[in-house]
Structure 1
């Protein structure tokens, strides 16, 4: 036997690593509940705002208000988790090309597409079942939030440079659903304006979030407003933030909100945005994630003013 053949026979051949074995935590990770309340609460905030504004306008009793709030918190969490599972199923090839997402369970093979699909069906039906606790009108409108809004979002980054705008419709759909759940009807003055503002808010935080992956997204062919806006991303998002605060202020005026709403909710959100943009460098990837997380605080600030407004009128 020649020395060359002997060397080939003795050469160590690396074994292909087997995909990790699926565990309950992999499924838990797929729902993003391991990061609760981060993304989940972004679905809840618009519902909480709409619920509280409507509760104040009709003087909803505190006990009923508390139950409604818990129902929307649970429903929002289930819907967000279902949307995350669907997104990971659709984007698994894209996720493999992005540094931040390359270790997600569907990318590594820890969970099969079939297993993820079963989980998706369970979460979807559970979130839809929560609509049974609302009235008929709210339930029918709520179904639009499931399909087409959340269901088609994963495809938007393939079809349009504005997937964040579609996401804004999906993430904030709880606002009209909660409002109608309390009042039984649509407030055609305040509600559409406030909803438009919340869509602008989603444009801000999700574009900031997408700035983390801009370079990877360009290579992978993923479309987003972070890529579209380019070097002008910061001033453009400042405009969206201003529109959000203006819409919220106008909606509060039309809904006869009290001073607490304008001082805490509107004023607090404006100051928070000012600090965000003052300290954000879009070219530093890590800062996109940091500023995305900061937008959760806006939810608390706005709801705090609304709760105080509700308390002063209905409880005190």
Structure 2
């Protein structure tokens, strides 16, 4: 019933729900094989994320904040990646990193959700796009500021070198460009801005690598 997604395999009938479940089972086995290569702490941490992953698809039916729940789910890797290397979590560094990812998700997925707001209204599901309405840019500006602030805090506590902050400033500009220029009434432009987040992520990743090399 959603224009943008009606041609996806299960929605269009190309695959049956049973075939989808079989593919899901294959993916979970692959993930399990990967998880078993890690330390015990990471195995438990990784397995604990399954509750988030399985419950996320229901959130649009329960709350106007599914994008926040998606942020909690998608960014679990910030916790797991650190634990896989260190064998535990350093909350002072990892929690700000995780929180920054949650706020980033709230920015890009709220923009993304504006593509479907008319269809979501028709079928009765919820999103931050519907929650914020005409105030969306003000909300995602706040989320963007919190994202960048949390990234700066995480980098400071981790004692990353100056290239990280230089590239964090560049990433801030990229995020600000998205928010200020997005046309929330245009599905095409919302998708364009959403996809542009690959550059935000690449800039932050480069900053972490260069900052660590220089420190």
Following TM superposition, by how much is the alpha carbon of 1:128 offset from its aligned partner in structure 2, in angstroms?
Answer: 2.1
Shift of 1:166: 0.7
Aligned to 2:161: 258
Shift of 1:197: 1.1
Q: How many angstroms does 1:150 deviate by?
A: 0.9
- Structure 2 unmatched ranges of 5 or more: none
8 A Cα contact 1:234 1:282, kept in partner:
no
Instruction: Provide the rounded CA distance (Å) in 1 between the counterparts of 2:107 and 2:147.
Output: 9
Aligned to 2:139: 236
Match status 1:282 vs 2:180: no
Residue number in structure 2 paired with 1:132: 36
Query: In the alignment, is residue 305 of structure 1 matched against residue 207 of structure 2?
Result: yes
SS at match of 1:189: helix
Query: Which residue number corresponds to residue 296 of structure 1?
Result: 198
Are 1:197 and 1:248, in contact at CA under 8 Å, matched by a contact in 2? yes
CA distance in 2, matches of 1:116, 1:219: 26
3-state SS of paired residue (1:133): coil
Give the C-alpha shift of residue 300 in structure 1.
0.4
Is the contact made by 2:97 and 2:150 (CA closer than 8 Å) also made in structure 1? yes
* CA positional deviation for 1:201: 0.3
RMSD: 1.1
Matched, 1:212 2:212: no
**Match of 2:116, SS?**
helix
- Residues 34-82 of structure 1 show CA distances to partners (whole Å, capped at 9, x for unaligned) of xxxxxxxxxxxxxxxxxxxxxxxxxxxxxxxxxxxxxxxxxxxxxxxxx
1:144-159 equivalences under 5 Å are: 144-145=48-49, 147-159=50-62
- 1:194 to partner: Cα distance: 1.6
Residue deviations 1:241-267, cap 9 Å, x none?
000000000111111111011111x21
Match of 2:174 in 1: 272
**TM-score, structure 1 as length reference:** 0.66
Alignment of 1:96-245 (within 5 A): 97-145=1-49, 147-245=50-148
Instruction: State how many pairs are aligned.
Output: 215
Q: Distance in 2 between matches of 1:288 and 1:254?
A: 35
Q: State the TM-score, normalized to the length of structure 2.
A: 0.97
Question: Of the two, which has the highest radius of gyration?
Answer: 1
Q: Encode CA deviations 1:205-232: one digit per residue, 9 max, x unaligned.
A: 1111110011111111111111111111
Is there any run of 5+ residues in structure 1 with no aligned partner, and where?
1-96
Shift of 1:132: 1.3
Distance in 1 between residues matched to 2:173 and 2:162, nearest whole Å: 17
Please identify runs of 4+ aligned residues in structure 1 that moved more than 3 A.
Answer: none
